[in-house]
Chains A and B, each alone.
Chain A
Amino acid sequence: MSSSTTSAEIEVRIPTILRPYTKGEKLVTAEAKDLKGLIAALDAKYAGLGERLLENNELRRFINIYINDEDVRFMGSLAATLKAGDSVTILPAVAGGCK
């Protein structure tokens, strides 16, 4: 099987606000070959987490996800591919305003 179709184990950093879903774990792992699959795999392990990341099957506007050092919005968003050794970081945006 070629590496592009094989799921790889990916390390995922969970932000404080989402740790109640992962029983307080800061670093979790899941197997996937792309970001969409990773979120599905995380949601299967940690029920409810997927909904905090997705809205209408798109990445939520105020959730940032990075593969290694790159914002996934520049890598095809949910279609961004993952390979063994990749590290994923989830960070809620720091944002607000007067309205």
Chain B
Amino acid sequence: MTLRIRADIVAKILEQSRAEYPDECCGVILGPEGSDSAVELKPMINAAHSPTFYEFDSKDLLALYRELDEKSKEIVVVYHSHTETQAYPSRTDIAYASEPNAHYVLVSTRKEIAPETEFRSYRIIDGEVTEEPVEIINTP
């Protein structure tokens, strides 16, 4: 399945990735339940504050899922940056991927490709990774 995402949201994620470099940055994009529509960007704090690891803060995680329940939203995208490696899910990413319905977006800001970045999307289900096309929608 293709991930369709607005150009301004992509730009904000790349901006966050650069701002938090060399640490990994992370966040989600929410949409109405069942819509698979990535409309609401929600940057999250990387509680690990690490260049090789990210983890949502436990309290933030609960608040996020409460919001999903109360407002009938779903996590459409889970994103994080890799600051030293390519934008491909690592063994750790695969082991902890727990949202079979989400698009897992990886951004790479590794210095070998600077100022270019990579922005790629995957499904991670039962340990199996499938890359999917990303369609960037330009908004007026």
Contacts and interface: CB of A to CB of B under 8 A. Distances in A.
A and B, one complex? yes
A76 interface: no
Interface in A37-54: none
Contacts of B50: 97
Interface residues of A, number: 19
Contacts of A96: 53-54, 80, 89-90, 92-93, 96-97
B55 A94 contact: yes
Interface stretch (B12-20, B59-67, B128-136): B59-67
B96 A98 contact: no
Contact of B78 (A69, A94, A98, A99): A94
A1 interface: no
For chain B, give the interface size range: 20 to 34
Contact of A15 (B53, B59, B98): B98
A52 to B, nearest CB: 10
A91 B64 CA distance: 11
A17 B98 contact: yes
A71 interface: yes
A89 B91 contact: no
A15 B101 CA distance: 12
B56 interface: yes
Interface of B: 24, 26, 28, 44, 48, 50-56, 58-59, 61-62, 65, 78, 80, 82-85, 89-93, 96-101
4 closest A-B pairs by CB: A97-B53, A92-B98, A96-B93, A95-B55
